[in-house]
Structure 1
Amino acid sequence: MSTPNAKLPGWVDYGLIPFLNLTSALLVSGLVVLMIGENPLEAVYWLVQGSLGYGEGIGFTLYYTTNFIFTGLAVAVAAHAGLFNIGGEGQAYFAGLGVALACLALDHYVPWWVTFPFAVLGGALFGAAWAAVPAYLQAKRGSHIVITTIMFNFIASAVMAYLLVEVFKQPGSMQPESRTFLEGGRLPFMDEALSWIGITIPHSPLNLSFAVALVACFLVWLLIWRTRLGYAIRTIGINPDAAVYAGMNLPRLTIITMMISGGLAGMMALNEVMGTQHRLLLDFVAGYGFVGIAVALMGRSHPVGIIMASILFGMLYQGGAELAFEMPKITRDMIISIQGLVILFAGAMEHMFRPALIRFFAMAGSKDIMNEA
């Protein structure tokens, strides 16, 4: 019971430890705010007010949340198989090509709801294809998945830069981007969609891909905990030797899992390319793939935890912009530092409180046994 991976009650593992990690990050951030002569409580107020205090702010928060859900799910699915996919950035970037091709091909001829399933399929397939090569190298050649996925991020960036400059750039334009999609290639914004049923909300970049993200959470839960494939994925993640002994094909499962992971990361392009920017452009991923790693760690690779962690990081992104505006001494760089502290405590220092909690619950369990005796 002294090992850092010993079993803890679910409410501790999925609730208390993330709360303690987050609290620690905020306390350290508060000390930084104090050092520059500002009030940490006022900073927290503007952070919450900017992200949840008014309609447009909520819309922006959920818009960021959408990206983090997709990239967090991508990391989580791979993690259940014992794989560390840090290539979500490149997979989402390359998937933008699949989404854009569907929109560019169909937006002249059909409404958005006809283009939409092709865009979803294009994003998922291109993301899965970009993850398939590192997966094959891991499964068949023994290359480490961390090295190959991170290198493929750089390759995706180079490929997309070439395509946007040499292939998709409009004649006479200096911008490395595709043409703007017509109405048939644009997802409705959420305020527009809700107006169809008589609900009025302020305009923001939030669009229907948020609903797709929530559906993806449910499907991932279904896959991992309610299907034979999900059982196999969890088995190879917990004990690969037992999986081999049971007759499971590890190379095949590794490739399938990574392709599912890449497809989920690729769905992020739906929010940015079809939902918000309405064109394919440089660097639309903006680091969301890397934040997805922290989201999956903080959410314990469970869809519900990922939704909650994604909302938290959405608040940090949107509320941080408001905070930097209202309190000029707290610069945008400091906001990034606060986000980094949350990532640090949620990721690299995830086990900081775990050993003490394990000892506490082990002692409590021993006392209960002695009392019963």
Structure 2
Amino acid sequence: MSKRLTNILTPIIAVLLGILVGTIIMLASGYDPAAAYIALWNGAFGDIYYIGEVIRQFTPYILAGLAVAFAFRVGLFNIGVEGQFIVGWTAAVWVGVAFELPRIIHLPLAILAAMIAGALWAYIPGLLKARFRVHEVIVTIMMNYIALHVTNYIIRNVLASKSGDKTDLVKETASLRSELLQSMTDYSRLHWGIILAIICCFIMWFLLEKTTRGFELRAVGFNQHAAQYAGMNVNRNIILSMLISGAFAGLAGAMEGLGTFGYAAVKGGFTGVGFEGIAIALLGANTALGVFFSAILFGILKVGSLNMPLEAGVPNELVNIIIALIVFFVASSYIIRVFLERFSKKGVK
């Protein structure tokens, strides 16, 4: 069996195993798994409104997954996507609320602000990793908490309206919302951000696979010592990869700030989008195409699960268990690969 086919089959088998074990858990808990999965399907595809919500849901998931995957391809584990997502969200809304500009300037400026904010937030752990070899996992985790509380302070004391909890809605000239898309999907919250997410998938693929800079970044990810011996600037590539990763994460925040919600609010905790990005990147094997399809799956599960308690009486937390199981089996992909190799050898015999 070819390596490419193995790479395709491994995440598919991980998903099927996650669903299978989830089914066993439902049976053991006294729930009807068939009714649960039918309810999940109906909650994701039973109405054009739900389809619009699924697309809206996986739009920031794509970008968060790309952020994690890009850093991982350069040998870095960016756990700080959640924090970069939050600062990108806040920066985009800040620009969207504070300025009166034509749409052709205002919207790109708000998106650019989100990308710059996310990139700068990722620059700090990138710099510490490159210059002082401080482990990026520790720094990015801590940066998440700093981002949460700093943005809450800014929203409450600088940007908030009279209520003190959230900002005003971003101006129409900075909004990603579309009357056309919303009317096509029975007035779901679908917005133009999905186009940007698809473009970013292509950008990541092209940058890593078709450019000299991408080759250098991947070489650093494979072996930093060999890359340095070959004359590549390892420190510069580490910082660059974190900047690009943070820009993707910040753009994911802009999807929420300028599209889904249209405002920024004080948060009692993390949104979870950045952490979902880790699972999406793992399931997508850290490739642009894999992240795209993985994000679609997570969007379907997240939106469809909301219908499970209503239609089948099954707690939607069971979907989180299934997602955790999928990630578990992806993390245990070595076992799946060994099984596939032995199966292919028996098939040859």
Partner Cα distance (1:358, 1:232) in 2: 31
State the AA in 2 paired with 1:77: F
Partner Cα distance (1:109, 1:231) in 2: 40
Equivalent residue for 1:4?
Answer: none
| 285 and 64 in structure 1: CA distance in 2 versus 1, 3 angstrom threshold | farther
Q: Secondary structure at the match of 2:139?
A: helix
Q: Secondary structure at the match of 2:231?
A: coil
1:56 aligns with 2:41: no
Q: Give runs of aligned pairs for residues 207-356 of structure 1, distance below 5 A.
A: 207-283=191-267, 286-328=271-313, 330-346=314-330, 348-356=331-339
Tell me how far 1:97 sits from its aligned partner.
2.4
Aligned residues, how many? 348
1:200 aligns with 2:200: no
Tell me how far 1:80 sits from its aligned partner.
0.8
**2:177 and 2:258 in contact (8 A); partners too:** no
Equivalent residue for 1:71?
Answer: 64
Equivalent residue for 1:12?
Answer: 6
Tell me how far 1:187 sits from its aligned partner.
1.5
| 8 and 293 in structure 1: CA distance in 2 versus 1, 3 angstrom threshold | farther
Tell me how far 1:352 sits from its aligned partner.
2.9
Q: Secondary structure at the match of 2:83?
A: helix
**1:295 and 1:310 in contact (8 A); partners too:** yes
1:41 aligns with 2:26: no
Partner Cα distance (1:359, 1:144) in 2: 37
Equivalent residue for 1:182?
Answer: 171
1:168 aligned to 155, 159, 173, which one? Answer: 159
- When you count helix as a share of all residues, which structure comes out higher? 2
1:110 aligned to 102, 108, 118, which one? Answer: 102
State the AA in 2 paired with 1:130: W
Q: Secondary structure at the match of 1:267?
A: helix
Partner Cα distance (1:255, 1:201) in 2: 41
2:18 aligned to 25, 42, 50, which one? Answer: 25
State the AA in 2 paired with 1:129: L
**1:8 and 1:358 in contact (8 A); partners too:** no
Tell me how far 1:361 sits from its aligned partner.
4.4
Deviations, residues 126-185 of structure 1 (Å, cap 9, x unaligned): 0000000000111101110111111100110110111122222224x2x42212223223
Partner Cα distance (2:290, 2:89) in 1: 26
State the AA in 1 paired with 2:282: L
State the AA in 2 paired with 1:287: G
- Asked which structure has the greater CA Rg, the reply is 1
State the AA in 2 paired with 1:53: G
Partner Cα distance (1:265, 1:352) in 2: 31
Identity over aligned pairs, percent: 33
Q: Secondary structure at the match of 2:285?
A: coil
**2:39 and 2:307 in contact (8 A); partners too:** yes
Q: Secondary structure at the match of 1:170?
A: coil
Tell me how far 1:61 sits from its aligned partner.
0.8
Tell me how far 1:254 sits from its aligned partner.
0.1
| 363 and 144 in structure 1: CA distance in 2 versus 1, 3 angstrom threshold | farther
Partner Cα distance (1:216, 1:258) in 2: 16
Deviations, residues 273-327 of structure 1 (Å, cap 9, x unaligned): 0012111113496101011111111111111111110010001100100112212
State the AA in 1 paired with 2:141: I
Equivalent residue for 1:3?
Answer: none
Equivalent residue for 2:341?
Answer: 358
Tell me the TM-score normalized by structure 1: 0.88
Deviations, residues 28-85 of structure 1 (Å, cap 9, x unaligned): 1101111222221221111112112221111111111101100000011111101111
Q: Secondary structure at the match of 1:85?
A: coil
Q: Secondary structure at the match of 2:188?
A: coil
2:127 aligned to 136, 140, 145, which one? Answer: 136
Q: CA RMSD in A?
A: 1.9
Equivalent residue for 1:122?
Answer: 113
Partner Cα distance (1:147, 1:194) in 2: 41
Partner Cα distance (2:105, 2:278) in 1: 33
Q: Secondary structure at the match of 2:102?
A: coil
Partner Cα distance (2:258, 2:214) in 1: 30
Tell me the TM-score normalized by structure 2: 0.94
Equivalent residue for 1:371?
Answer: none
State the AA in 1 paired with 2:175: R
Partner Cα distance (1:279, 1:25) in 2: 36
Equivalent residue for 1:370?
Answer: none
